[in-house]
């Protein structure tokens, strides 16, 4: 991946373009600031992180498949105070 890096007194900002922000008219000239350090994966209390299910067959299928089942979600620490959406950004 090709990131553009800006060094600031509070830390560094890495910028990467994304096709969804350049195709849809609503998000043109927009940016999302994401602090990946504040996003973490959490599981439900008392449940394992994941369970492998092998040889699962649906009623109308002739094949057996396996999958990974987990009970968890993404959690944003600090209420997302270090994340933002910036709209109508112009270089002039």
pLDDT at 80: 67
pTM of the model: 0.55
Domain ranges of the chain: 4-86
Residue pLDDT, tens place only, 40-88:
888 888 777 778 888 777 777 777 788 888 888 888 887 667 788 888 8
Distance CA 24, CA 12 (A): 28
pLDDT tier at 92, thresholds 50, 70, 90: low
Grade residue 3 by pLDDT with cuts at 50, 70 and 90. Answer: confident
Q: Would you say 53 and 66 are in contact if contact means Cβ atoms under 8 Å apart?
A: yes
């Amino acid at each position: 991946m090709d990131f553009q890096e800006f060094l600031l007194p509070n830390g560094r900002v890495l910028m990467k373009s994304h096709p969804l922000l350049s195709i849809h008219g609503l998000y043109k000239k927009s940016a999302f600031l994401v602090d990946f350090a504040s996003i973490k994966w959490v599981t439900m209390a008392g449940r394992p992180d994941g369970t492998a299910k092998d040889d699962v067959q649906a009623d109308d299928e002739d094949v057996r498949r396996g999958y990974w089942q987990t009970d968890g979600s993404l959690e944003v620490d600090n209420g997302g105070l270090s994340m933002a959406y910036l709209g109508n950004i112009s270089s002039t």
